[in-house]
């Protein structure tokens, strides 16, 4: 094998990222603790308005520290879901990050990857750490192969700017299949469901103990398919269907002579349910506009609660409680959402039935993507031996059950929802870069 620390593997995710490096005490790979003892770090960068520009760029924070700075209202600019920039025209553009500074989106990506590389070096890897396997979704851009290829090219360029010289890619769900393969006792056909924060990807892969040491696995990859629907979409739909109803979403204004009651404008609620847009509702101009809309509301309590959210900057708190409620009902049953932070005694019941209804259309599209993947492999559902679930959103019971219902003869295996892709990428990197 090449120098123990000369290569690594990076799972660059929509919501969270991880990096694996070779073990120093023996064969195999290990995940690096990135912050607070965690092996995953939010894919987030916060640029501070205050502070001096140094050799690495404008003053900024990464991961949980970046999210905390944003939620606390620190003056600056948060960048999240950076993966979605890949394949778009934004990648070569410059964006204002405050303090009179501008940064190219490509440099934002490179800076984050460099942070991961530096954390690996701090954790025991030694220079040069110049080889990397990066995970990628089945499709960066649905149905547009030229833009999809451009997205991979842009990510490779960012990796090189971060200090990597030898850059390779592997599909994320296939990496998850490699993680599953390390436990397989016999040859199997496995359908990998990788349901993360931004995409739901499926792969049909042939695995087995006699195949796992082969570097070229192209003939074992029978099909790949995916859709851009996943956990962040689930959170938004749950918040709209439950929490934001108490603040006027889908409510009506007062009835007036000769004029039927009209639905309250919904734009503010979609922004409150979209994580990276929440801070936009706190601007003085937006707040003043909404304050003047009091007469639009038939139930003035809704307007008062909404203004409390804006004035006390509680949007992220509402989003967090909606996400927690989604997780609470994920295993079945109902939960109570405590909203007393807005109004004393305010709480609502989120039933599994309401959650299912809110997510039904998205889940249906994800399930259909799995069916299409199996069909593309030229297989029938009964020919799938195992289902391997990975990604943060596979903890949602109703989603996993809907997928599994199509493959009654398959063994259901739950991987590490947050680390199996990084682990599988590490296995691939070890095979690829061995001497």
Residue 92 in this model has a pLDDT that exceeds 50: yes
Percent of the chain with pLDDT over 70: 97
What is the rounded distance in angstroms from the CA atom of residue 391 to the CA atom of residue 187? 24
> What does the DSSP 8-state code read for residue 277?
G
pTM for this prediction: 0.77
pLDDT band at 1 (very low <50, low <70, confident <90, very high): very low
Residue 55: partners with Cβ closer than 8 Å, 6 or more residues away: none
Cis peptide before 391 (omega within 30 of 0): no
- The alpha carbon dihedral of 167, 168, 173, 179 has a sign of negative
Q: Which of 72-81, 201-210, 357-366 is least confident?
A: 72-81
Helix (H) or strand (E) holding 82: none
Q: pLDDT (tens digit, 9 = 90+) per residue, 278-302? A: 878 988 999 999 999 999 999 999 9
263, 260, 281: which is closest to 272 by C-alpha? 281
Q: What confidence score (pLDDT) does residue 185 get?
A: 80
> What does the DSSP 8-state code read for residue 382?
G
What is the rounded distance in angstroms from the CA atom of residue 273 to the CA atom of residue 270? 5
Q: Which two tokens stand for residue 167?
A: 């850059």
Sorted by where each begins, the domain ranges of the chain are 7-164, 233-356
Percent of the chain with pLDDT over 90: 51
What is the rounded distance in angstroms from the CA atom of residue 425 to the CA atom of residue 178? 8
Number of Cβ atoms within 10 Å of the Cβ of 361 = 12
Q: Determine the topology of domain 7-164 in CATH.
A: Nucleotidyltransferase; domain 5 (3.30.420)
Q: Which two tokens stand for residue 38?
A: 């965690």
Average pLDDT, the chain: 89
pLDDT band at 425 (very low <50, low <70, confident <90, very high): very high
Q: pLDDT (tens digit, 9 = 90+) per residue, 124-158? A: 876 689 999 999 988 888 778 899 999 999 999 99
If DSSP codes are grouped into helix, strand and coil, which group holds residue 356?
Answer: helix
pLDDT, greater one: 138 or 311 = 311
Q: What is the mean pLDDT of residues 225-231?
A: 87
């Amino acid at each position: 094998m090449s120098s123990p620390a000369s290569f690594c593997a990076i799972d660059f995710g929509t919501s969270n990222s991880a990096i694996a490096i070779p073990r120093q005490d023996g064969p195999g790979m290990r995940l690096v603790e990135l912050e607070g003892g965690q092996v995953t770090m939010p894919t987030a960068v916060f640029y501070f308005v205050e502070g001096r520009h140094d050799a690495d760029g404008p003053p900024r924070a990464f991961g949980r520290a970046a999210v905390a700075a944003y939620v606390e209202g620190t003056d600056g600019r948060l960048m999240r879901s950076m993966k979605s920039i890949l394949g778009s025209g934004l990648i070569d553009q410059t964006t204002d990050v405050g303090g009179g500074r501008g940064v190219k989106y490509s440099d934002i990506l490179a800076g984050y990857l460099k942070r991961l590389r530096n954390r690996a070096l701090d954790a025991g890897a030694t220079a040069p750490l110049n080889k990397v396997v990066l995970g990628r979704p089945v499709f960066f851009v649905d149905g547009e192969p030229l833009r999809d290829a451009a997205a991979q090219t842009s990510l490779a360029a960012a990796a090189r700017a971060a200090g990597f010289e030898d850059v390779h890619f592997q599909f994320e769900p296939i990496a998850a299949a490699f993680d599953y393969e390390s436990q397989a006792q016999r040859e199997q056909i496995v359908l990998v469901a990788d349901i993360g924060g931004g995409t739901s990807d499926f792969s049909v892969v042939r695995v087995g103990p006699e195949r796992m040491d082969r570097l070229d696995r192209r003939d074992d990859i029978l099909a790949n398919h995916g859709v851009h629907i996943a956990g962040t979409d689930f959170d938004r739909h749950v918040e709209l269907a439950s929490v934001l109803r108490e603040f006027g979403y889908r409510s009506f204004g007062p009835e007036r002579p000769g004029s039927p009651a009209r639905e309250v404008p919904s734009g503010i609620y979609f922004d409150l349910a979209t994580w990276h847009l929440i801070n936009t509702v706190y601007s003085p101009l937006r707040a003043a506009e909404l304050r003047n809309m009091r007469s639009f509301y038939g139930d003035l309590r809704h307007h008062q609660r909404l203004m409390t959210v804006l004035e006390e900057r509680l949007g992220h708190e509402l989003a967090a409680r909606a996400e927690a409620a989604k997780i609470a009902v994920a295993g079945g049953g109902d939960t109570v959402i405590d909203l007393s932070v807005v109004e004393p005694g305010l709480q609502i019941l989120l039933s599994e039935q309401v959650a299912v209804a809110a997510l039904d259309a998205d889940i249906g599209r994800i399930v259909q993507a799995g069916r299409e993947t199996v069909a593309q492999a030229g297989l029938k559902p009964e020919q799938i031996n195992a289902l391997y679930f990975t990604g943060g959103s596979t903890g949602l019971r109703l989603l996993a059950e809907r997928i599994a219902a199509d493959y009654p003869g398959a063994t259901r295996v739950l991987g590490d929802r947050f680390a199996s892709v990084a682990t599988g990428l590490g296995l691939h990197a070890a095979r690829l870069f061995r001497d």
